[in-house]
A and B are shown apart, each in its own frame.
Chain A
Amino acid sequence: MSRHVVAAASEIAPGERKLVSVRGRPIAIFNLDGEFYGMLNRCPHQGGPMCEGKITGLVTAPEPGKYDYSHAGAIVRCPWHGWEFNIRTGQSYCEPERFKTRTYPVEVADGAAVVEGPYVAERIAVSVEERYLVVDL
């Protein structure tokens, strides 16, 4: 396992996402209110690119006809079949015990630390003034 610098933190605004690659693995990095979460860019169902999914809230219902809306901005729907995943945990809302998409912790590191290493910066040129998103893989 090694530490990979995948993007500058400033590249992904809150509510946005960016597709990166770590050791050939496509990972979608989401910015949720300033916190960063990584998710494999392959829906566990048929492989839809999660990074291109719609970010939504979650609707649940205590009974038919009642709509409780929560988790605004914390759910990503696969762009193909609409399966809903919790961006923080990767869990599918439907049958969560069976379906989960792979997640990757994303750490925010100062440029000064990144320059010192030990990091794999892929092709990102690192500057000490920036903060960077780091994935262990």
Chain B
Amino acid sequence: MNVQLRDTPLVQATSKIAIADGDIHPARFKASEFDPWLDQKWRDRIAQFGTRQRQPWQSGPAYPKSQPNASRRDAVPPEGGKQGSSLAFMQQQHLDPNNVVLGILNPLGSGQGIQDVDLSIALCHATNEWQIAKWTSQDKRLKASVVVAYEDPIASAAEIRRYADNPDFVQVLLLSRTSEPLGSRKYWPIYEAAAEVGMPVGIHAFGYGGNPMTPSGYPSYYIEEMVGHSQAQQSLLNSLVVEGVFARFPTLKTVMIEGGSAWAPALAWRLDAAWKRLRAETPHLARLPSEYIRDHVWWTTQPLEEPEPRSHIADAIGWTGWDKFIFATDYPHWDYDDPATSLPLKISESQRHDYFIGNAQRVYRGVA
């Protein structure tokens, strides 16, 4: 029997436009990858007591995901290991065929939000060094985020300043589900440091701050948690604006990551209406909430809402502004948005350029 298949590649190589990806999730091939940057006491602590978060399980997410590691089933590297743990396979499956010329790394599961704040600080620092060693030093298209133990904002600010002059780092990474709303004064040292070093603060959905997923407690289903991340994102943006973070730090940029974006216009309208009525309470705000949002906030695109008809998303994007979106795939996660198919709209060349790369080049330092 001499059966053989055609050897022509099934993924056709096309001359795709160069794009940025504002949300790539690198993973460890094995847990010990952080060890070079972790003191023995922390390795012992993790071995004995684990990395306890404000959720029930020793490992795994609060709500079981829909797919293993919440990842694309076709993203398991040929050498094994978690999706996103192989640079070579990430290049082969994503960066090269999609012509990603700028990829922002947002490591999750790094140590943010761990109950033991000292351990969280140590793990976050290890994550940052690991990003250099395994990723940014190996592929110049990739840029790192400074992962910080946000529940200790003073330590976070120190970590941000440590990478102030390292061009591999272009963003500070927070998670959305913090112990207090992110506008709380507690977190302001983080914003002060980020503004000082010229990095935007990226706020990625997820984390466990200890607050129930809804103002009525915990829902039953993973789909509710996933949809609910956009409520968390709206609430934290409400907080950033009204508590005065943008008024206090006029050069601060923030990027809302993976929390959706089509909600932004309605939130801004509601904020403006409420603030006009209630402004006596917040004299620290000099302008309409929507103006602060306009000047200080960007959104990564994924998961892009999918209305029927799809043209409705163009209204939502237009209300927020085509200059406010940073294309993102969320590779290798399951709710990945494909650059070729996720925005099926007829748009102008300049809109396309801004959406897929131009805006990212303006938001992140030193990448244009």
Contact = CB atoms under 8 A, between A and B. Distances in A.
A–B direct contact (CB < 8 Å) = yes
B129 interface: no
Contacts of B42: none
A26 B6 CA distance: 11
B192 interface: no
A125 B3 contact: yes
Q: Which of A46, A80, A122 has the most CB of B within 10 A?
A: A80
Nearest to A19: B10
B-side interface size class: 20 to 34
Interface in A1-38: 7-8, 11, 19-21, 24, 26
A126 to B, nearest CB: 8
Contacts of A46: 336-338, 341-342
B74 A81 contact: no
Nearest to A21: B6
Interface of A: 7-8, 11, 19-21, 24, 26, 41, 45-49, 52-54, 79-82, 122-125, 127, 129-130
A48 B74 CA distance: 9
Q: Which of B3, B7, B336 has the most CB of A within 10 A?
A: B3
Interface in B145-200: none
Contacts of B74: 48-49, 52, 79-80
A79 B73 contact: yes
B40 interface: no
B305 interface: no
B335 A47 contact: no
Contacts of B47: none
A45 to B, nearest CB: 8
Contact of A47 (B3, B8, B66, B338): B338
B5 A123 contact: yes
B4 interface: yes
Contacts of B73: 52-54, 79-80
Interface SS, A side: loop
Contacts of B338: 46-48, 80
Nearest to B333: A80
Report the 4 A-B pairs with minimum CB-CB distance, sorted nearest first. Answer: A79-B73, A125-B2, A52-B74, A46-B341
Nearest to B75: A79
Given A46-B338, A80-B334, A125 B4 contact: yes
A49 B334 CA distance: 13
B278 interface: no
Nearest to B10: A26
B1 interface: yes
A81 B330 CA distance: 12
B365 interface: no
Given A7-B5, A123-B5, A82 B341 contact: no
B134 interface: no
A48 B75 CA distance: 11
